[in-house]
Amino acid sequence: MEARTTRVYASLPLAGPAGWAGRDILRGAELALERWDGDAAELVVLDTHAADREGRAAENARLAVEDERALAYLGDFHSSQVAATTPILSAAGLLQVAPTATFAGLGGPTLVRLMPSDEGLARGIADWLVHDARVSALLVVHDHDPGYGDPVGRMCVEAARDRGIEARSRPVWSHDESIADELTDVPAVLYVGVAGRGTAAFWRDLHAAHAGMWLLATDGIAVDWLARAIDADAARRTRFFTAQRAPWGLYGFEAMALILDAVAAGAGTREGAVRAARGTRDRDSVLGRYSIDEAGLTTSPATGRLAIADGELVWDRPGLA
């Protein structure tokens, strides 16, 4: 009897605002599959772009679960989608490798994540403040998002305090509030949130209030249009921190490579694939060497760092400040 080809489901945004990143991840996954020299595997690609992206992702997960030939699921892109699909996939014992999700509250017995969590990001920011910026105080300004700005802002304050930095937080100022009074003698401000129409003006106001202050942010505002809008003086004191440390395509490549290795080591069973992937130790990859801890999370370094040079986002390097 002819052996049935293993199927790997990929659930990613292929259109919409995140479509370019999803397509890059998919191209990386396809390249890893092309280079695989083990038993054949079939890739089933499902789009998650929809008005209800979490609902669409859940539909994709159910399709994978119901396919007896499916041994792994690559996705999803957004943390909210992973939160929706993990219970479905875990209940069926299906390996899930999420290449990009960072929300600290994610977890499940079949979930593997290749990007550090927001808690790791907060620790990485605090380490940079101590060892590179050498500041002793930090003001964390966060947006009002209960799923990101508020909790990640708290993580950043806690991580800074753990390293001896005097840290406090507050929600972003309203239009009728003056920001200057709170910035006297503050060596660094960290904004935790996403970019909006008023972000460029907000950045100008911060720099005008204290020109020598570090202007820091999480990757929610690391966008090209904002980099172009920030003037050169403010840009020299600006850094964006991100859990992403490589192009999206490399995350897709490694997600598929890990899946294929786990499926091969798992003797063609869902349980075996999960056991092999979650048991990963000191794996050399395009993302560097990493292990998977008992919670299914990578041990890779927690932060990448972006700066602005000539109006463009670039990886931070010595001499940009």
Closest CA relative to residue 67, chosen from 3, 2, 13, 6: 6
pTM of the model: 0.88
Token pair 């995350």: residue: 251
The reply to whether 6-116+246-278 and 118-242+304-315 are identical in fold is yes
Q: Quote the pLDDT of residue 3.
A: 57
Mean pLDDT, rounded, of the chain: 93
Confidence of residue 1 (pLDDT cuts 50, 70, 90): very low
Query: What residue segments make up the domains of the chain, in order of their start?
Result: 6-116+246-278, 118-242+304-315
Q: Quote the pLDDT of residue 317.
A: 73
Q: In what order do the strands lie in the sheet with 6-12?
A: 41-47, 6-12, 70-74, 95-98, 111-113
Q: What is the pLDDT of residues 222-276, one digit of tens each?
A: 999 999 999 999 999 999 999 988 899 999 999 999 999 999 999 999 999 999 9
pLDDT at residue 220 is higher than 90: no
Task: Give the residue-averaged pLDDT of 286-313.
Answer: 93
Q: Quote the pLDDT of residue 111.
A: 98
pLDDT at residue 97 is higher than 90: yes
Confidence of residue 30 (pLDDT cuts 50, 70, 90): very high
* Residue 290 token pair: 């990493």
Higher pLDDT: 147 or 3? It is: 147
DSSP 10-26: EEE--SSTTHHHHHHHH
Q: What is the pLDDT of residues 149-206, one digit of tens each?
A: 999 999 999 999 999 999 999 999 887 777 877 888 899 999 999 888 889 999 999 9
Q: Quote the pLDDT of residue 319.
A: 59
pLDDT at residue 26 is higher than 80: yes
Determine whether domain 118-242+304-315 maps to CATH 3.40.50.2300.
yes
Q: Quote the pLDDT of residue 239.
A: 97
Q: Quote the pLDDT of residue 16.
A: 94
* Superfamily for the 6-116+246-278 domain: Response regulator (3.40.50.2300)
Q: Quote the pLDDT of residue 50.
A: 96
Closest CA relative to residue 266, chosen from 1, 38, 26: 38
Cα–Cα distance between 64 and 48 in angstroms, integer? 14
Element (H, E) at 132: none
